[in-house]
Amino acid sequence: MKALRIHEFGNPSLAVLEDLAPAEPGPGQVSLRIEAASVNPLDLKMLAGHMRQVFPVSLPYTLGTDLAGVVLQAGPGVARFQPGDRVVGRLEPTAGGAFAQAAVVPEQALSLMPADMSFEQAAALPTAAGTAWLALFGAGKLQAGQRVLVHAAAGGVGSFAVQFARQAGAHVVATASARNLGLAEELGAHEVIDYQRQDFAGLLRGVDLVLDTVGGDTLERSWQVLAPRGAVVSTVDFAVKPRGSQAGAFVFFQHDAEALSGILESFKAKQLQIVLDTIHPLDDARAALEQVAGGHARGKVIVRASH
pLDDT, residue 255, reads: 74
Give the span between the Cα atoms of 99 and 38, in whole angstroms. 8
107 assigned to some structural domain? yes
pLDDT, residue 258, reads: 81
45 assigned to some structural domain? yes
Is the pLDDT score of 242 beyond 80? yes
Is the pLDDT score of 259 beyond 90? no
- Which residues are CB-neighbours of 197 under 8 A, at least 6 positions away? 178
pLDDT, residue 306, reads: 85
* 66 within 8 A of 124, measured Cβ to Cβ: yes
Is the pLDDT score of 256 beyond 80? no
Averaged pLDDT, 269-282: 97
CATH number, domain at 66? Answer: 3.90.180.10
Task: Quick: pLDDT tens for 23-78.
Answer: 999 999 999 999 999 999 999 999 999 988 889 999 999 999 999 999 999 999 99
* 238 within 8 A of 219, measured Cβ to Cβ: no
Give me Rg for the CA atoms of the chain.
Answer: 19
265 assigned to some structural domain? no
CA atoms lying within 13 Å on the CB side of residue 44: 16
Residue type, 204: L
DSSP 24: P
Give the span between the Cα atoms of 234 and 251, in whole angstroms. 6
Answer yes or no: do 23 and 9 share one domain: yes
Answer yes or no: do 6 and 120 share one domain: yes
Task: Quick: pLDDT tens for 69-124.
Answer: 999 999 999 999 999 999 999 999 999 999 999 999 999 999 999 999 999 999 99
Q: What is the count of structural domains for the chain?
A: 2
Q: Is 52 helix (H, G, I), strand (E, B) or coil?
A: coil
Give the span between the Cα atoms of 144 and 130, in whole angstroms. 20
Cα of 98 vs its chain's centroid, Å:
14
CATH number, domain at 149? Answer: 3.40.50.720
Answer yes or no: do 159 and 120 share one domain: no
* 272 within 8 A of 299, measured Cβ to Cβ: no
Count CB neighbours of 66 within 10 A.
29
- What mean pLDDT is reported for the chain? 96
Answer yes or no: do 197 and 143 share one domain: yes
Q: Is residue 252 very low, low, confident or very high in pLDDT (cuts 50, 70, 90)?
A: confident
Q: Is residue 17 very low, low, confident or very high in pLDDT (cuts 50, 70, 90)?
A: very high
Q: Is 92 helix (H, G, I), strand (E, B) or coil?
A: coil
Q: In this prediction, what percent of the chain has a pLDDT beyond 70? A: 100
268 assigned to some structural domain? no
Averaged pLDDT, 239-263: 88
Answer yes or no: do 234 and 289 share one domain: no
Give the span between the Cα atoms of 181 and 161, in whole angstroms. 15
Residue type, 76: P
Answer yes or no: do 242 and 143 share one domain: yes
Answer yes or no: do 241 and 288 share one domain: no
Give the span between the Cα atoms of 203 and 21, in whole angstroms. 57
Answer yes or no: do 120 and 17 share one domain: yes
259 assigned to some structural domain? no
CA atoms lying within 13 Å on the CB side of residue 189: 27
Domain range spanning residue 279?
A: 2-125+275-304
Is the pLDDT score of 292 beyond 90? yes
258 assigned to some structural domain? no
